[in-house]
Amino acid sequence: MKTNRTISILFFLLLVMMPLDFYLIFKVAPTERIMGDVQRIFYLHVSLASGAFLAFTCTFVSSILFLWKKNLIWDSAASASAETGLLFATLVLITGSLWARPIWNVWWTWDPRLLTVLILWFIYVGYFLLRGGIADRFKKAQYSAVIGIIGYIDIPVIRYATKWWKSIHPLLTREGGGLNPVMKNVMFFSLTTFLVLTVFLFLFRFRLARIEERLQKLKKLTED
Amino acid sequence: MENWGYLVGAYTVAWLGVSFYLYVNAKKQKAIEERLSDIEAMLKDRG
Amino acid sequence: MKFMGSAIAILRKDILLELRGKESLSLMLFLSLLLLVIFNFALDTGKENVSSLASGILWVVFTFSGILGMGRTSMAERDEDAYLSIVFSPASAESFYIGKVLSNLLFLVIMEIFTLLFFAVLYDFEKIISMLPQLLPGLLLGTLGFSLVGTLFSFLTTASRYGEVLLPFLYLPVVVPIILGGVSSMDIILNAKAGGAGKWIQIMAVFDILYFAVSLLLFRYIIEE
């Protein structure tokens, strides 16, 4: 099985990259002057967000491919990546909250970026609610593909609208823009590591979805 | 170092979240693989 | 022209059904009235506050009454598979979609007019009626957005065993830009705030165009069996 091998390779890659990433984040990256050590959440938070974005993009593309090719393998890919994306989006919201408390002195702020992730989170929860309620396998795939597409194209509109909405209200102090070169490099490595993690989790879930499919088919066969 | 808790908290939550997700899926995978081999064996017996 | 013809036929069918007492409109109006009364208890709507609260209250009422109405009309299509006769007729899925969007739009607009009247009376705020011409672009674009997404999603949810209950969960997050735009533009106009409503009208227009195009492409996958 090709997927099995890719999963193993990625797993061993992560076994090396993850500890190295943590080492870089906690030991090599300099402490931010104003925010202090809490700023190190940033490396995790941003990487998770990029991973979620990659996963939802994959859902979008797979959904289109499903409607086009009508092959259930694309539905498995769409739902597997939506699940990975949802997991990451949840973690983004939690880590964002844990960052906001010490820095902005609030657990939650109606920052356009946070708001966009929260709304996305709702959309993909809806995606799974819809899937849970439809018994027919093909219909489930078809209908959730529509949500996978509609939800994704909403992202830029939500982003733009929330940004404009915020610009009317008083802005909370933003984090300082400048990252020093070491920080940038650590950030880059962290991003790469989490993108590998995203692909790994996706493939892991995808393999499960495929094997579930096979079980259902065999079950039907034995019942007949 | 007064905000250490938030930093550790964030990394712990993320790590636990991903590990738990992997654990649950790995368990499911194993259960399904076992059932699949059961059914395949059964089909073989029947011929 | 045949395309628009079938869309209009569906619109006419829905109006006739409504006139014969399918009750979705009266339910919407009743909910609007009820929500306005509830808001009166929930918020301090004294003379000095009502102007700043108006846009928020009204759009929440529009949103929820709209969900109720659109959920009902598509449920009526699914019942006894009434929509199948349209699927198998020469009318295309696209014209079916447009027809349903128009009929939902019509019912939403009627509901909104009544809600505005109820609001003016119950909250002693006649200003909202006199300012209607300025508010109209925002109201129409927002309502069109509701109808475009609501029509698509209400058909999605009918296939689920949860039925209409699922509709708000799918619909509300997606129409956030419309709600933001509707509330903000109305607030800016009512309270003569700086910034101008033009930007919001633009966002809603972009949303409408985007969803019109995408829904037209996707609707066939929802009703084909």
Q: What is the mean pLDDT of chain C?
A: 87
The residue among C126 and A193 whose pLDDT is bigger is A193
- Judged against a pLDDT cut of 70, whether residue C123 lies above it is answered with yes
Report which of C144, C163, C159 is spatially closest to residue C101, judged by C-alpha positions: C144
Q: Would you state the structure tokens that stand for residue C11, as one six-digit string?
A: 């619109």
**Cα C224 versus chain centre, distance:** 25
Which residue type does C76 have? A
A130/C177 touch (CB, cutoff 8 Å), yes or no: no
Q: Mean pLDDT over residues C213-224, rounded?
A: 88
Q: Mean pLDDT over residues C70-98, rounded?
A: 75
pLDDT digits (tens, 9 = 90+) for C12-36: 888 887 777 767 888 899 999 999 9
Query: Tokens 């289109």 belong to which residue?
Result: A64
Interface of C with A in 166-205 (CB under 8 A): 166, 169-170, 172-174, 176-177, 180-181, 184, 195, 199-200, 203
Percent of chain A that is helix, strand, coil (3-state, to 5):
85, 0, 15
C146 pLDDT tier (thresholds 50, 70, 90)? very high
**Chain C residues with CB-CB distance to A124 below 8 A:** none
pLDDT per residue rounded down to tens, chain A (224 residues): 678 899 999 999 999 999 998 888 888 888 877 777 778 888 899 999 999 999 999 999 999 999 999 999 999 999 999 999 999 999 999 998 888 888 888 888 888 888 889 999 999 999 999 999 998 889 999 999 999 999 999 888 888 888 887 765 444 444 445 668 888 888 999 999 999 999 999 999 999 999 999 888 888 877 76
User: Can you give the pLDDT at residue A82?
Assistant: 96
User: Can you give the pLDDT at residue A100?
Assistant: 83
**Chain A residues with CB-CB distance to C157 below 8 A:** 130
Select the highest-mean-pLDDT range: A85-89, A150-154, B1-5, C37-41.
A85-89
| Dihedral over Cα of A141, A144, A149, A152: its sign | negative
Per-domain boundaries in chain B: 10-47
User: Can you give the pLDDT at residue A109?
Assistant: 81
C204 neighbors C66 (Cβ within 8 angstroms): no
Per-domain boundaries in chain C: 2-223
CA angle A170/A174/A179 to nearest 5° reads: 165
User: Measured between alpha carbons, how far is A123 from A195 in angstroms, rounded to an integer?
Assistant: 22
C222 neighbors C95 (Cβ within 8 angstroms): no
Q: Mean pLDDT over residues C121-126, rounded?
A: 89
B5 pLDDT tier (thresholds 50, 70, 90)? confident
**In Å, how far are A18, A29, A179, A201 from A187, measured between CA atoms?**
13, 9, 9, 21
- Judged against a pLDDT cut of 60, whether residue C157 lies above it is answered with yes
A147 neighbors C159 (Cβ within 8 angstroms): no
Chain A to chain B Cβ contacts (< 8 Å) = 77
In this structure, what are the phi and psi dihedrals at residue A32, rounded to the nearest 5 degrees? -65, 140
A150/C195 touch (CB, cutoff 8 Å), yes or no: no
User: Can you give the pLDDT at residue A42?
Assistant: 86
B29 pLDDT tier (thresholds 50, 70, 90)? very high
C61 neighbors C90 (Cβ within 8 angstroms): no
Q: What radius of gyration do chain A's Cα atoms show?
A: 20
Per-domain boundaries in chain A: 40-174+181-223
The ipTM of this complex is 0.88
The residue among A114 and B30 whose pLDDT is bigger is B30
User: Can you give the pLDDT at residue C80?
Assistant: 63
C110 pLDDT tier (thresholds 50, 70, 90)? very high
C87 pLDDT tier (thresholds 50, 70, 90)? low
User: Can you give the pLDDT at residue C225?
Assistant: 60
CA angle C175/C177/A78 to nearest 5° reads: 60
Interface of A with C in 97-156 (CB under 8 A): 119-120, 122-123, 125-126, 129-130, 133-136, 139, 142-143, 145-147, 149-151, 153-154
Which residues lie closer than 8 Å to C95 by C-beta, 6 or more apart? C3, C4, C5, C6, C7, C10
Nearest-by-Cβ selection for B43 from A90, A211, A222:
A222
Report which of B18, C203, C87 is spatially closest to residue A204, judged by C-alpha positions: B18
**C8-13 contacts at long range (C-beta below 8 A, 24 or more positions apart):** C8/C99, C8/C102, C9/C91, C9/C99, C10/C86, C10/C91, C10/C95, C10/C96, C10/C99, C10/C100, C10/C102, C10/C103, C11/C99, C11/C102, C11/C103, C11/C106, C13/C99
User: Measured between alpha carbons, how far is A127 from C156 in angstroms, rounded to an integer?
Assistant: 11
C47 pLDDT tier (thresholds 50, 70, 90)? confident
